[in-house]
C-alpha cells in the first residue's frame, strides 16, 4: 500500500530543480513518493515536515538558494531557525471537531505547553503520528501477506 | 439517593467526574489501583468511597475479582456525578460529560489518513482523535509516544 492510495489529490507537493539531486536522499529517507518531472523533482507528502540544511547536505548559502528555487503546491514553505530549517506546511481547509471534558482540555493544554506547541499543533501531532504509524503497520502487513 | 451522592452533588463543580461507591464494596475499592493517580484517585469518606476520575476509564470484571452477578450489583449500586456509567458483559466503563468542543484544521490528505486509521480501529473519528491525544497526555513519560 502506497501513501498515494490514501487520497487521490491534495498532497503537499514540493518541486525543485534537478541540480539539487543530492537533497533527494533527505526526502527518500522519509519514504515520500518522488517523481521525475523533466527539469524538476517533485516530492509528495500527506502532512507538514521540515528539512534542515544538514539533512539536505547544503551550505547555508546553497540552502538559501534551494529555498528560493522550491515550488510548493497545496501548501506553504517557511525558513526558520536562522535560515537553517525549511518548514513545509499543507493548506488545511478542513475542520474537525471533537468533545472533551474540562479536565481533559486542561490536561491537553498542559501537555501542549510542555511540548512548546499550541493546542492545535499538539493535537495534530498526536493524531497524525498515530495515523501514519497505523498506515505504516497496515502497509507492512500487506507486504508480508499478514492481511 | 445513595449515602454521599447528595453531598457529592452539592460540592460538584461540574468539572471532574466522581464515582460514589457504597462501603460494602471496600474489597473492590482495594483492587482499584492507580498508584500514580494519573487516571483517578479514591477517597474514603467514611460512609462511602469517592473515586475522582480524570478521563474515561474501563474496569475488567476479572481484575476486580467479581462474579458476573456481583458486577451487576456493583454497577447498579455505584452512582456517577459529572459523567455516565456503562456496562458490557465483562467491563464497567466510566465516561465524563464532555461539554467542550475542540476544533482542529486538517489538510485533505491528513484527514484521509486519520479516517483510514479510525476505520481500521473501528472507532469514530472523534473517538480516534480523543484517544490519540489523551493516550499521549497520560503516557508515563509525561507526553511521550504511546
In a domain, A79, yes or no: yes
Cβ-nearest to A111 among B106, B128, B143: B143
- A86 and A116 share one domain: no
Cβ-Cβ contacts under 8 Å, A122 against chain B? 133
Cα separation of the two ends of chain B = 40
**Nearby residues of A146 by Cβ (< 8 Å), 6 or more positions away:** none
Alpha-carbon distance B117 to nearest alpha carbon in chain A (angstroms) = 5
The answer to whether the CB atoms of A108 and B137 lie below 8 A apart is yes
- Among B37, B38, B94, B102, the strongest candidate for a mutation testing the A interface, having the largest count of A CBs within 10 A, is B102
Q: Which residue of A has its CA nearest to B95?
A: A101
**Is there a single domain that holds both residue A23 and residue A71?**
yes
| Same domain flag for A42 and A71 | yes
Cα–Cα distances (Å) from A52 to A62, A87, B104, in that order, read 12, 9, 27
Q: Are strands A12-17 and A71-73 parallel, antiparallel or unpaired?
A: antiparallel
- Considering the domain boundaries, does residue A97 fall inside one? no
Of B17, B104, B108, the CB nearest to A124: B104
How far is it, in rounded angstroms, from Cα B98 to Cα A98?
9
pLDDT exceeding 70 applies to what percent of chain A? 95
Q: Establish if A80 belongs to a structural domain.
A: yes
**Alpha carbon distance A140, A1 (integer Å):** 8
| Chain A residues with beta carbon closer than 8 angstroms to that of B129 | 96, 98, 123, 127
Tell me the shortest Cα–Cα distance from A3 to chain B, in angstroms. 9
CB-based contacts of B12, cutoff 8 Å, min separation 6: B18, B81, B82
Quick: pLDDT tens for A27-85: 888 878 899 988 899 999 989 999 999 998 899 999 999 999 999 999 999 998 888 89
- pLDDT band at B32; cut points 50, 70, 90: confident
Residue A67 resides in a domain: yes
The residue segments making up the domain with residue A126 are 102-143
pTM summary value: 0.80
The confidence band for B132, taking pLDDT boundaries of 50, 70 and 90, is: very high
pLDDT band for B8, please (50, 70, 90 cuts): low
- The verdict on A32 and A80 lying in the same domain is yes
Whether residue A81 is found in the same domain as residue A61: yes
**Does residue A37 or residue B139 have the better pLDDT?**
A37
Q: Which range among A126-140, B4-18, B56-70 has the greatest average pLDDT? A: B56-70
Q: Is the model's pLDDT at B101 over the cut of 60?
A: yes
A121 part of a folded domain = yes
In a domain, A23, yes or no: yes
Question: Nearest CA to A29 among A11, A12, A49?
Answer: A49
Amino acid at each position: 500500500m502506497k501513501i498515494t492510495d490514501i487520497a487521490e489529490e491534495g498532497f503537499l507537493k514540493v518541486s525543485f530543480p534537478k541540480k539539487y539531486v543530492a537533497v533527494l536522499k533527505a526526502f527518500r529517507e522519509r519514504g515520500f513518493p518522488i517523481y521525475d518531472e523533466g527539469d524538476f523533482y517533485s516530492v509528495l507528502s500527506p502532512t507538514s515536515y521540515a528539512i534542515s540544511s544538514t539533512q539536505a547536505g547544503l551550505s547555508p548559502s546553497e540552502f538559501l538558494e534551494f529555498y528560493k528555487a522550491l515550488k510548493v503546491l497545496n501548501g506553504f514553505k517557511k525558513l526558520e531557525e536562522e535560515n537553517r530549517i525549511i518548514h513545509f506546511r499543507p493548506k488545511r481547509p478542513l475542520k474537525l471537531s471533537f468533545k472533551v471534558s474540562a479536565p481533559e482540555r486542561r490536561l491537553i493544554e498542559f501537555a501542549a505547553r510542555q511540548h512548546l506547541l499550541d493546542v492545535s499543533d499538539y493535537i495534530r501531532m498526536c493524531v497524525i503520528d498515530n495515523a501514519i504509524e497505523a498506515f505504516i503497520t497496515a502497509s507492512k502487513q500487506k507486504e508480508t501477506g499478514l492481511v | 439517593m445513595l449515602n454521599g451522592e447528595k453531598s457529592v452533588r452539592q460540592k460538584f463543580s461540574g468539572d471532574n467526574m466522581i464515582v460514589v461507591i457504597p462501603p460494602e464494596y471496600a474489597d473492590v475499592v482495594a483492587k482499584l489501583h492507580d498508584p500514580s493517580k494519573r487516571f483517578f484517585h479514591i477517597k474514603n469518606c467514611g460512609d462511602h468511597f469517592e473515586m475522582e476520575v480524570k478521563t474515561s476509564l474501563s474496569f475488567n470484571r476479572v481484575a476486580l475479582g467479581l462474579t458476573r452477578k456481583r458486577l451487576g450489583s456493583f454497577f447498579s449500586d455505584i452512582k456517577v456525578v459529572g459523567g455516565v456509567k456503562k456496562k458490557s458483559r465483562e467491563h464497567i466503563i466510566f465516561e465524563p460529560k464532555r461539554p467542550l468542543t475542540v476544533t482542529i484544521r486538517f489538510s485533505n490528505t491528513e484527514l484521509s489518513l486519520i479516517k483510514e486509521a479510525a476505520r481500521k480501529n473501528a472507532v469514530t473519528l472523534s473517538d480516534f482523535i480523543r484517544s490519540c491525544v489523551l493516550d499521549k497526555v497520560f503516557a508515563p513519560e509525561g507526553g511521550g509516544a504511546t
